[in-house]
C-alpha cells in the first residue's frame, strides 16, 4: 500500500478457529468507536471468517506451507514491505508473529496474553492469579491492545463476535437445516468433536443424548469435521450426519438456522455465538480462567468442580481419572441445560 492511512491497521491472528472468530467483535468495536479499518493476516482456512465484515478491507490468507522456516521469513519480509509504516496489531502473540514484528517498520501493539499468569495459576492448583485471569476474557484481552497500560477493558457485551452472512448463505443454511429437520419445527446441532481429549465428552454420552432426543421426538444433526463416533454399531442416520459436508461459512449458516448447539470447548462454540445461536457448552480440562467461555451471556456452561481442573492450557494432557470432569456429565443434565438455554433466548415452549 503506497499511501499510509493512520486509521488503517494490519491485524495478525493465525489460529485457531475459535480465537479467530473472537477477533471479529473486537474489530467491529474498534471500527465503531475509533473509526479504524483493517487488513487481516490469517491462515487460509480461517480467511472466510472475515468475509463481509464492515471493518475489514482485505484479508491476507497464508497457507500452512508459508508458516514455517525460510518461507515464513520471506513472507513476513514481503508483508512488512507492502505495509511499511502502517500499524501492526499482534493478536496472536507467539514467536512466529513476533518474528513479523522484527521486520515491521510501523507501530506495533500487542495484547496482554497473560501467559505467565496462566502458568502460575496452573502449577499452583488455582491459588495464584485467579482474579487477574477472570478479570477479562480473551476478547477483552484482545481489545486492550489499543488501550494504554493499566486501562480497563471494554465490557464483554461490546465485543461479541459476529459473522456477516449474506442472504444466499442464510438461505442455503436454512435449506440444509430444513432437510435435517424434516417435519419438526426446530433443529438441535450436536458437535461431538474436540481438538484434544481433555475437551471431548465421551462418545457414549453423545449417543445417549441422541437416543434421549429421539425419545422426545426432537430433530438433531451432527456437524463438524471428524470421524464417526467410535462405538460399535454407532450409526448416525444419513439425513442427520452433516460431518465434513459444510465449509466454514456453510457451517455458520446452518448453525444460524438451528435452535441451539451442544458442544465442548471448540471453534464451533464461538461460531454459533457469532451467528446468534444459543450454546450449551461442556467444559472439562479447561476452565473460565483461560478466557474462552462462550461470549453469549445466555449460554449454559456444564462443568464439574474438581480440584484437578484445569489440568492443562489446551486440554492435551493425559488424565488418570479418565476425564471424570466430562464423563460425569450425563445426558439428562444436558437436556435440562438445553431447556434453560432456550428459555434465555426464546419463549416458554419446550423442546423440540
pLDDT tens by residue, 64-108: 999 999 999 999 999 999 999 999 999 999 999 999 999 999 999
The number of folded domains in the chain is 2
Q: Does 115 reside within a domain?
A: no
pLDDT tens by residue, 182-222: 999 999 999 999 888 889 999 999 999 999 999 999 999 99
Per the CB < 8 A criterion, the answer to whether 274 and 162 are in contact is: yes
Q: Where are the alpha helices (DSSP H) in the chain?
A: 17-34, 69-82, 95-103, 115-123, 130-134, 138-143, 167-181, 203-216, 248-256, 267-274, 324-327, 331-345
pLDDT of residue 351: 46
Shared domain for 180 and 317, answered yes or no, is yes
With a cut of 80, say whether residue 313 has pLDDT above it: no
Shared domain for 253 and 323, answered yes or no, is yes
With a cut of 70, say whether residue 55 has pLDDT above it: yes
pLDDT tens by residue, 318-339: 787 888 999 999 999 999 999 9
What is the arithmetic mean of pLDDT over 257-269?
Answer: 96
* Residue ranges making up the domain that contains 41: 8-110
Q: What is the CA radius of gyration of the chain?
A: 21
Shared domain for 180 and 282, answered yes or no, is yes
Percentage, residues of the chain above pLDDT 70: 95
Residue finishing a domain among 70, 88, 110: 110
Quick one: pLDDT band at residue 230, thresholds 50, 70, 90?
A: low
Q: Does 159 reside within a domain?
A: no
Residue finishing a domain among 69, 85, 110: 110
Q: How many CB atoms lie within 10 A of CB 321?
A: 11
Shared domain for 89 and 227, answered yes or no, is no
CA dihedral of 117, 118, 119, 122, whole degrees rounded to 10: 120
With a cut of 70, say whether residue 116 has pLDDT above it: yes
**CATH number, residue 30:** 3.40.50.2000
Quick one: pLDDT band at residue 342, thresholds 50, 70, 90?
A: confident
Q: Does 208 reside within a domain?
A: yes
In the numeric block, the cell 442416520 is attached to: 237
Shared domain for 216 and 314, answered yes or no, is yes
With a cut of 50, say whether residue 294 has pLDDT above it: yes
Q: Does 119 reside within a domain?
A: no
With a cut of 90, say whether residue 3 has pLDDT above it: no
Q: Does 86 reside within a domain?
A: yes
Quick one: pLDDT band at residue 350, thresholds 50, 70, 90?
A: very low
Amino acid at each position: 500500500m503506497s499511501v499510509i492511512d493512520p486509521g488503517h491497521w494490519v491485524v495478525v491472528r493465525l489460529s485457531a478457529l475459535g480465537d479467530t472468530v473472537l477477533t471479529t467483535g473486537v474489530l467491529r468495536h474498534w471500527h465503531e468507536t475509533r473509526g479504524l479499518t483493517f487488513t487481516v493476516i490469517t491462515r487460509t482456512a480461517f480467511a472466510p471468517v472475515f468475509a463481509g465484515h464492515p471493518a475489514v478491507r482485505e484479508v491476507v490468507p497464508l497457507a500452512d506451507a508459508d508458516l514455517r522456516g525460510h518461507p515464513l521469513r520471506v513472507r513476513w519480509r514481503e508483508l512488512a514491505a507492502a505495509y511499511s509504516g502502517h500499524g501492526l496489531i499482534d493478536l496472536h502473540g507467539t514467536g512466529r508473529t513476533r518474528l513479523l514484528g522484527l521486520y515491521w517498520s510501523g507501530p506495533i501493539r500487542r495484547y496482554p496474553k497473560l501467559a505467565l499468569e496462566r502458568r502460575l495459576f496452573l502449577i499452583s492448583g488455582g491459588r495464584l492469579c485467579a482474579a487477574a485471569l477472570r478479570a477479562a476474557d480473551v476478547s477483552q484481552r484482545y481489545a486492550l491492545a489499543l488501550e494504554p497500560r493499566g486501562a480497563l477493558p471494554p465490557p464483554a457485551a461490546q465485543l461479541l463476535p459476529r459473522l456477516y452472512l449474506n442472504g444466499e448463505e442464510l438461505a442455503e443454511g436454512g435449506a440444509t437445516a430444513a432437510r435435517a429437520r424434516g417435519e419438526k419445527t426446530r433443529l438441535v446441532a450436536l458437535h461431538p468433536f474436540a481438538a484434544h481429549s481433555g475437551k471431548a465428552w465421551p462418545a457414549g454420552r453423545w449417543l445417549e443424548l441422541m437416543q434421549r432426543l429421539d425419545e422426545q421426538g426432537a430433530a438433531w444433526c451432527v456437524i463438524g469435521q471428524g470421524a464417526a463416533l467410535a462405538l460399535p454399531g454407532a450409526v448416525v442416520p444419513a439425513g442427520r450426519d452433516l460431518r465434513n459436508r459444510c465449509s466454514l461459512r456453510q457451517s455458520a449458516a446452518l448453525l444460524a438456522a438451528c435452535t441451539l448447539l451442544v458442544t465442548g470447548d471448540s471453534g464451533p462454540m464461538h461460531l454459533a455465538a457469532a451467528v446468534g445461536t444459543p450454546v450449551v457448552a461442556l467444559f472439562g480440562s479447561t476452565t473460565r480462567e483461560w478466557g474462552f467461555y462462550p461470549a453469549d451471556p445466555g449460554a449454559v456452561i456444564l462443568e464439574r468442580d474438581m480440584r484437578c481442573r484445569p489440568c492443562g492450557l489446551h486440554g492435551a494432557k493425559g488424565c488418570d481419572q479418565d476425564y471424570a470432569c466430562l464423563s460425569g456429565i450425563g445426558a439428562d443434565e444436558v437436556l435440562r441445560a438445553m431447556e434453560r438455554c432456550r428459555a434465555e433466548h426464546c419463549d416458554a415452549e419446550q423442546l423440540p
